Amino acid sequence: MIPGTPLDYPVVGMTTVSDAAQLRDALAAGDPVRLVGGGSKQLQLPAPDQPVRLVSLAGMDRILRLEADDLTCSVQPGVQRRELDAELADRRLCLPCRGTGTIGGIFAADAEGPSGAGQPSPRSLLLGVSAMLTEGLAFKSGARVVKNVAGFDLQKVFVGSRGRLFAVTELHLKLRPIPRAELHFANRDLTTVAALDLARRLRATSTPPAWLELLGIRDRVTVQGTLRGHPRHLDEFAGRHGLKPCEALPVLPIVAGEHREVVRARSPFAAVPRLLERVPEGTLFSVTGSTFTVAVPPPIADALLALLPELQGSAEIVAGAAPRRGACSARDPHAAQLEHALRHALDPRGVLR
Amino acid sequence: MTEAGPELPFYRDTLGCVHCGLCLPACPTYQELGDETESPRGRILLSRALAEGRIADGARIASHFDRCLGCLACESACPSGVRYRHVLEGTRAELNQRAPERGVRARLRKLLLSQVVARPRRLRWAFAALGLAERTGLRRLAQRLGLIPQLTERLLPAVPPRQQRLPLVGAFPPPGVTRGRVALFTGCVMEQAFGEINRKTLALLQANGFHVDVVTDQGCCGALHLHDGQLELARRLAQRNVDAFRGADVIVTNSAGCGAALRDYGHLLGSAVAADFAGRCRDVCEFLAEQGLSATPAPFPHRVAYDDPCHLCHGQGVRTPPRALLRTVPGIQLVDHPSAETCCGSAGIYNLLQPELASAIGADKAGQLRATGAEVVITGNPGCIMQIRAHLSGTGMRVLHPVEVLLPESG
Amino acid sequence: MLPSMEALFGELTRRFGPKRCLTQPESLLAYECDGFTIHRQRPLAVVLPEDTEEVVAAVRLLHAHRVAFLPRGAGTGLSGGATPTEPLVILDTARMKRVLRVDPEERIATVQPGVVNLDLTRHVRAHGLHYAPDPSSQSVCTIGGNLAENSGGPHCFKYGMTTDHVLGAKVVLPDGTLVELGGPAGARPCGGLDLTGLFCGSEGTFGIATEITVRLSPDPESTVTLLASFRSMRDACGACSDIVAAGLVPAALEILDKATIGAIEASVYRAGYPADAAAVLLVELDGPAAATEADAEEVLMLCRSRDAIAIETAHSPEDRLRLWKGRKGAFGAMGRLSTDLYVLDGVVPRTRLIDTLETITAIGAKYRVTLTNVFHAGDGNLHPNIAYDGRDAEETQRVVAAGMEILRTCVAAGGSITGEHGIGSEKLDHVALMFTAEDLEVMERVRSVFNPDGRCNPGKVLPTRNSCAEVGRWPEMVARVLDPGGPSP
């Protein structure tokens, strides 16, 4: 079993591949397959609806090309984030999005969305891919260069696809220079109203924080985040908005428990107060970018799922018991049909689960 | 491609268009209709196709050129420097020649332009008759009987009293020291319908130290004929003016439409003398801004929106001088008017020929002007004054010519 | 005309009236091409709908009559994306120009597709916001067209392309089905696929967007523009690389070559560049005042160390406009050199710019064409402009051949055949430089999901229409295009 992979999977076996030929072989049989990287994100995904073979791309772990001067690199999907970050840091570069685990996994899951107002999300950093359909057909889309509009952008639809469309064998990424300065801040123990107000003010500036999170329980909320940019500006900005600098940001994971499911919602920021109304007293919640996360009992989870379309957003149960994990709010039925048709076109045998 | 193309004088002008489309947002008819055939780029394609012999029946494209306002906003927008005015005039002339327009209205228009507007004495009679009709109530009767279409009626100016319609002629020295000598172009309709503005222009130039000559043999500039495709008549009128102003150093105009036409005589007549004439023409605001006002204007404590006449900003490239002069008026407050350079729909006699479109465009303009919060609109072209006045009637907003607020206290 | 066509036109005219359903051959002349003028074909008719419901009605009628169609915005595209390749009807969005909703706090707007790019920025200016993607044609081009083409512009280096600013769209599929992709909260719904990202840049072959939700960006606190002239292109490109290597992220990094400078200085756009300048680099920095000032100092220093002849710095909007004047006028200045202008669009890794430019110059000489280069240096996005006389068939052929060879060079350097103009009808033959038959087959499958009958903007993006039947052609074509010794198309 891969570390971190949930036990509630109906798994018939596992294959770790280290090149395209092995990947082709692993997919050739046509039996149900779930593509994974290191498996760390499987805790947040719906369980397969039938027994699957896990095909892990963790063996494809080479950084193929790092063109520092061009601000691009090409990696295999199994490259670990921390390994890439170390390579990039040596060249004073970074991949400006959050996420841990394998690079392939970060893009396939696209779990968090943008980390702050106006920040890049993984989708804007993936320039192109080399990939393989389950039938073994190798293809590519996009390009290695930072700007390109040739052909249809299959790499875009890969982002967040959770390996349900095809397997990628190479990812071409857009990089950024390491910011000249960084400043963490945390303003603690605010009332909900004060916290929302501060977040709103920060979002309304011409240089919103690169990372901004509201974390806590009702009326005991921490507004924390990271400012990036020129050192002269950061101090001035923090002073102007009364931000309290701190060393590093606390990490408080929101986890599922007995009778508690983790719901992740994406909504306009203005809808956050309405979401909070549904959350029971004393429940830990987090708001980052346009993502709202909370752990609640199943009936409340269902209520949130039902509420989100009204708020022009969407929601999904990302952790909890297997049969409910992956349940998401209703969306336009025609869009759902298109998604289905797209999966069928790229994986006609329905191998990927 | 046929060999006919290169022979038509406007063919070369059409070739300058690289089809980039930057003219589209500038074109009022495209903005209103969304049909690219009603855009400069579309019309240039039609002209080119006509010249290349790809369009056999000219009558089928005539309506697209009829609908063009000739505002020349496309020329300001064009990066490739296409002289659209020459494409338009040339195409209209060619279409006229191929298939003279039939129908009572078209014949009446042609007759009016060639037999009345182009002839000063007949134009004076016409205005006299119109004035008589007004005084006797005949005009109101005709209106009530539906003999004059309502849209048209709203635009027709009230006929000024007789003494304002008398032609200005002679030499008018300034009250004090003479700074220079200029000739005033008095126009045709301007003289009859806006004689007061001509007189104020004269007074303004005098008050600022200029000796003003109003020469006798001048006449209609021919712009309306040119826009109607009556090239020969336009050339005759142009030649008359070139001759009449031979001795003048500077020819000052107060009508943007006339000014743009006068300054294009070089192209129209194709002679060095005409080009020299064109080089000596100045809009009154442009001239006074160059020279500087020596007489402080009377206080005018109002919120004012300056609206660029198309043939001043696009036709002559004059944008800053009127604004600069207005800023010197004590108490004046120039308000922001983002769509100042958009056509008001007057466009010569367009509002009489295409009342529906002109009215839609005029209503847009009125809406934009109301949104500025101004009390007074200032624009330097008679047609625009009439059109904007008609569309602002009932709002309490006044429409004036720049010279009217630049006069010093005593004037 | 086929009887069924007559029936269709009758129905369209009844629904839209003669002013919004154009069928006269003369009226259709204006629609025979977009900003790419080498291919021309008149449509059968042009329909001008005003809202989503009307688009649905028109598309349903067309679908019922099995007549192909394509969407068109302002027709400023430079790859023939809005030019018919077969008899079809154009759905023109020119009358769909309403801004439906602006939410300044959320920093989003929902607009109809015919809203002009710059008009959206004007509309939200009072809130201190703007729409970031700014193609050179931004005063004319529409948001719908931008979405279809995934348009770029000089400020992509920092702010990204259209795809980075589109959150969702209502789309009418080629069979008339209305579908909602993404939304204000993001392009991809939780648990769903990013169909918005896939739709963006599909060049009008997946359907017509009738309401588009985009992200608005805050106006920067300050902007500084620098213009540096250099004695050689190598120095200009070097300075550009130094700036990026120093960790600066300018909003724009633009370079003009010597031939462009010559064309500008000889035109009404004369910008007063030094006479001995072989290249001009334009750098725009934006952000908090403290940061832009410090960054500008650094750029100044880096340019000096590359022996810049002259450097000008501008802070006020008027002064900045003056520095941009030559860059903005480059297209017009080139347009004045001959009757037609072919604006190419290729991308190379930025470090390969200088070699590629040298090759391009050689290609220009080989094919005897008037060629200048203006480019988004930060992105390595080249725009070789070729002025020519389209009436001269032989010259036009040389221009097209030179274009093909230039793009082949770009791809060989690890780049792309288009950075922002799209494939359209222009680059159908060039696609094989970048993509294999397998790549194209997968793309064809994706297109078939949205556009199964191939009647929505046929003959664009992918070289053939019916993949299964004709896929055999591709390897042949790939071989032809990849063989430089073979006959030029």
Task: List pLDDT tens digits, range B282-294.
Answer: 999 999 999 999 9
Question: Who's near C144: CB < 8 A, 6+ residues apart?
Answer: C71, C73, C93, C96, C112, C113, C114, C115, C208, C209, C212
B304 with B283, same domain: the answer is: no
B144 with B181, same domain: the answer is: no
Measured in angstroms, the CA of B60 and the nearest CA of chain C are apart by: 7
Model confidence at A47, in pLDDT bands (50, 70, 90)? confident
- What is the share, in percent, of chain B residues with pLDDT greater than 70? 90
Measured in angstroms, the CA of A312 and the nearest CA of chain C are apart by: 6
B217 with B281, same domain: the answer is: yes
Give the nearest chain C residue to B27 (CA atoms).
C140
B336 with B372, same domain: the answer is: yes
Name the residue among A138, A268, A339 with its Cβ closest to that of C106: A268
Give the nearest chain B residue to C50 (CA atoms).
B34
State the best of A146, A235, A291 to mutate against chain C, taking most chain C CBs within 10 Å: A146
Q: Residue C345 belongs to a domain with what CATH number? A: 3.30.70.2740
Query: For position B7, what pLDDT does the model report?
Result: 76
C367 with C470, same domain: the answer is: yes
Q: What is the mean pLDDT of residues A58-70?
A: 96
Query: For position B122, what pLDDT does the model report?
Result: 77
Tell me if B23 sits within 8 A of B41, measured CB to CB: yes
B36 to chain C, any CB pair closer than 8 A? The answer is: yes
Measured in angstroms, the CA of C289 and the nearest CA of chain A are apart by: 8
How would you class B410 by CB atoms within 10 Å of its CB: exposed for 0-12, middle for 13-18, buried for 19 or more? exposed
Measured in angstroms, the CA of A160 and the nearest CA of chain C are apart by: 6
Token digits of residue C219: 């106006």
Question: Who's near A272: CB < 8 A, 6+ residues apart?
Answer: A196, A214, A287, A292
Residue C325 placed within a domain: no
Q: What is the mean pLDDT of residues B48-56?
A: 91
Give the nearest chain C residue to A318 (CA atoms).
C191
Q: What is the mean pLDDT of residues B136-153?
A: 59
Q: What is the mean pLDDT of residues A33-55?
A: 90
ipTM of the complex: 0.96
Question: Where is pLDDT greater, at C159 or A322?
Answer: C159
Query: For position B128, what pLDDT does the model report?
Result: 75
Measured in angstroms, the CA of B38 and the nearest CA of chain C are apart by: 9
Query: For position B143, what pLDDT does the model report?
Result: 62
| B22 vs C contacts (CB less than 8 Å) | 76, 137, 139-140
Lowest mean pLDDT among A47-51, A171-175, C445-449: A47-51
B60 to chain C, any CB pair closer than 8 A? The answer is: yes
Token digits of residue B138: 């005949």
Q: What is the mean pLDDT of residues A163-181?
A: 96
Model confidence at B207, in pLDDT bands (50, 70, 90)? very high
B window 314-373, beta carbon within 8 A of C: 338
Query: For position C483, what pLDDT does the model report?
Result: 46
C404 with C346, same domain: the answer is: yes
B172 with B278, same domain: the answer is: yes
Tell me if C137 sits within 8 A of C36, measured CB to CB: no
What range defines the domain where residue C67 resides? 3-92
Query: For position C489, what pLDDT does the model report?
Result: 33
State whether C431 and A206 contact (CB < 8 Å).
no
State whether C218 and A236 contact (CB < 8 Å).
no
State whether C92 and B36 contact (CB < 8 Å).
yes
What CA–CA distances, in Å, run from B210 to B288, B295, C402? 10, 11, 62
- What is the share, in percent, of chain A residues with pLDDT greater than 70? 97
Q: Per residue in B369-395, pLDDT tens?
A: 999 999 999 999 988 998 999 999 999
Given a cut of 90, whether residue C392 has pLDDT beyond it is: yes
Given a cut of 90, whether residue A61 has pLDDT beyond it is: yes
State whether A145 and C156 contact (CB < 8 Å).
no
Chains A, B in contact, 3 or more Cβ pairs below 8 Å? no
State whether A148 and C418 contact (CB < 8 Å).
yes
Q: Per residue in C181-240, pLDDT tens?
A: 999 998 999 999 999 999 999 999 999 999 999 999 999 999 999 999 999 999 999 999
Query: For position C1, what pLDDT does the model report?
Result: 55
Q: Which residue, of B259, B289, B319, is where some domain finishes?
A: B289
Name the residue among B19, B34, B79 with its Cβ closest to that of C35: B19
Model confidence at A147, in pLDDT bands (50, 70, 90)? very high
Measured in angstroms, the CA of C473 and the nearest CA of chain A are apart by: 17
Q: Residue C126 belongs to a domain with what CATH number? A: 3.30.465.10
Name the maximum alpha-carbon separation found in chain A.
62
Residue B347 placed within a domain: yes
Given a cut of 50, whether residue C485 has pLDDT beyond it is: no
Given a cut of 80, whether residue B109 has pLDDT beyond it is: no
Give the nearest chain C residue to A333 (CA atoms).
C179
Q: Per residue in C61-120, pLDDT tens?
A: 999 999 999 999 999 999 999 999 999 999 999 999 999 999 999 999 999 999 999 999
A340 to chain C, any CB pair closer than 8 A? The answer is: no
| C340 vs B contacts (CB less than 8 Å) | 18
Question: Where is pLDDT greater, at A303 or C268?
Answer: A303
Residue B302 placed within a domain: yes
DSSP B171-217: EE--SS---EEEEE---SHHHHH-HHHHHHHHHHHHHTTEEEEE-TT
C403 with C459, same domain: the answer is: yes
State whether C434 and A151 contact (CB < 8 Å).
yes
Residue C319 placed within a domain: no
pTM, rounded to two decimals = 0.92
For chain B, the average pLDDT equals: 88
Nearest to C458 by CA among C14, C9, C101, C41: C41
C173 with C116, same domain: the answer is: yes
State whether C76 and B21 contact (CB < 8 Å).
yes
Query: For position A48, what pLDDT does the model report?
Result: 87
What CA–CA distances, in Å, run from A198 to A201, A236, C346? 5, 16, 45
C278 with C380, same domain: the answer is: no
Nearest to C107 by CA among C203, C184, C34: C184
- Using beta carbons and an 8 Å cutoff, which residues of C are at the interface with B? 19-20, 22, 24, 26-27, 29-35, 37, 46, 48, 74-76, 92, 94-95, 114, 116, 119, 122, 137, 139-141, 268, 329, 331-333, 335-336, 339-341, 391
Residue C488 placed within a domain: no
The alpha carbon of residue A340 and the mean position of all alpha carbons in its chain are separated, in whole angstroms, by 22
Tell me if C108 sits within 8 A of C167, measured CB to CB: yes
Name the residue among B21, B55, B80 with its Cβ closest to that of C75: B21
Query: What's the distance, Cα to Cα, between the start and end of chain A in Å?
Result: 18
A238 to chain C, any CB pair closer than 8 A? The answer is: no
Q: Which residue, of B50, B78, B98, is where some domain finishes?
A: B98
For chain C, the average pLDDT equals: 92
State whether C439 and A332 contact (CB < 8 Å).
no
State whether A266 and C149 contact (CB < 8 Å).
no
B354 with B402, same domain: the answer is: yes
Pairing of strands C222-230, C279-287: antiparallel
Q: Residue C245 belongs to a domain with what CATH number? A: 3.30.70.3450
State whether A150 and C435 contact (CB < 8 Å).
yes
Model confidence at B146, in pLDDT bands (50, 70, 90)? low
Query: For position C470, what pLDDT does the model report?
Result: 39
Q: What is the mean pLDDT of residues C337-359?
A: 95
Query: For position B4, what pLDDT does the model report?
Result: 46
Query: For position C437, what pLDDT does the model report?
Result: 95
C104 with C205, same domain: the answer is: yes
Distance in angstroms (rounded) separating the CA atoms of residues B50 and A206: 53
- What is the share, in percent, of chain C residues with pLDDT greater than 90? 84
Task: Please name every residue paired with C282 in a beta bridge, in sequence order, or none if there are none.
Answer: C227, C254
State whether C22 and B79 contact (CB < 8 Å).
no
State the best of B2, B12, B14, B24 to mutate against chain C, taking most chain C CBs within 10 Å: B24
C453 with C342, same domain: the answer is: yes
State whether C332 and B42 contact (CB < 8 Å).
no
DSSP state of B114: I
Residue B301 placed within a domain: yes
B167 with B264, same domain: the answer is: yes
Q: Which residue, of C40, C67, C92, is where some domain finishes?
A: C92
Question: Where is pLDDT greater, at A94 or A322?
Answer: A94
Q: Which residue, of C41, C74, C92, is where some domain finishes?
A: C92
Residue C487 placed within a domain: no
| C422 vs A contacts (CB less than 8 Å) | 149
What range defines the domain where residue B248 resides? 163-289
C476 with C378, same domain: the answer is: yes
A window 198-217, beta carbon within 8 A of C: 200, 203-208
State the best of C21, C27, C40 to mutate against chain B, taking most chain B CBs within 10 Å: C27
Residue C331 placed within a domain: no
Element (H, E) at C402: helix C393-412
B40 with B122, same domain: the answer is: no
State whether B18 and C341 contact (CB < 8 Å).
yes
Lowest mean pLDDT among B162-171, C167-176, C417-426, C437-446: B162-171
Query: For position C474, what pLDDT does the model report?
Result: 40
Residue B114 placed within a domain: yes
B230 with B266, same domain: the answer is: yes
Q: Which residue, of B241, B256, B289, is where some domain finishes?
A: B289
What CA–CA distances, in Å, run from C285 to C55, C161, C220, C249, C463? 42, 18, 10, 8, 41
Distance in angstroms (rounded) separating the CA atoms of residues C462 and C425: 9
Token digits of residue B315: 């036709």
Residue B337 placed within a domain: yes
Domain count, chain C: 4
Name the residue among B15, B18, B34 with its Cβ closest to that of C92: B34
Name the residue among C24, C29, C391 with its Cβ closest to that of B1: C391
Given a cut of 90, whether residue C482 has pLDDT beyond it is: no
DSSP C75-132: S--SSSTTS-SSS-EEEE-TT---EEEEETTTTEEEE-TTSBHHHHHHHHGGGTEE--
C475 with C375, same domain: the answer is: yes
Name the residue among C29, C94, C122 with its Cβ closest to that of B34: C94
Distance in angstroms (rounded) separating the CA atoms of residues B237 and B117: 11
For chain A, the average pLDDT equals: 92
| B49 vs C contacts (CB less than 8 Å) | 29
SS3 C287: strand
C85 with C40, same domain: the answer is: yes
Name the residue among C149, C245, C449 with its Cβ closest to that of A149: C149
Query: For position C333, what pLDDT does the model report?
Result: 86
Given a cut of 50, whether residue C480 has pLDDT beyond it is: no
Given a cut of 50, whether residue C481 has pLDDT beyond it is: no
Q: Which residue, of C280, C314, C348, is where some domain finishes?
A: C314
Measured in angstroms, the CA of B182 and the nearest CA of chain C are apart by: 31
Query: For position C471, what pLDDT does the model report?
Result: 38
Given a cut of 70, whether residue A23 has pLDDT beyond it is: yes
Give the nearest chain C residue to A199 (CA atoms).
C105
Q: Per residue in B310-337, pLDDT tens?
A: 999 999 999 999 999 999 999 999 999 9
Residue C332 placed within a domain: no
Residue C324 placed within a domain: no
- Token pair 């043999």 in the structure block, residue: B217
Given a cut of 80, whether residue A197 has pLDDT beyond it is: yes
Q: How many helices (H) and strands (E) does chain B have?
A: 25, 9
Given a cut of 90, whether residue B253 has pLDDT beyond it is: yes
Query: For position B224, what pLDDT does the model report?
Result: 87
Any chains having at least 3 CB pairs less than 8 A from chain A are C
Whats the size of chain C, residue-wise?
A: 489
B72 with B168, same domain: the answer is: no
What CA–CA distances, in Å, run from C357 to C295, C362, C377, C407? 28, 9, 11, 12
Residue B361 placed within a domain: yes
| A108 vs C contacts (CB less than 8 Å) | none
Lowest mean pLDDT among A28-42, A177-191, B141-155, C118-132: B141-155
Question: Where is pLDDT greater, at B71 or B125?
Answer: B71
Element (H, E) at B153: helix B150-155
Given a cut of 90, whether residue A49 has pLDDT beyond it is: no
Query: For position C468, what pLDDT does the model report?
Result: 37
Residue B411 placed within a domain: no
Tell me if A268 sits within 8 A of A313, measured CB to CB: yes
Whats the size of chain A, residue-wise?
A: 353
Domain count, chain B: 4
Residue C322 placed within a domain: no
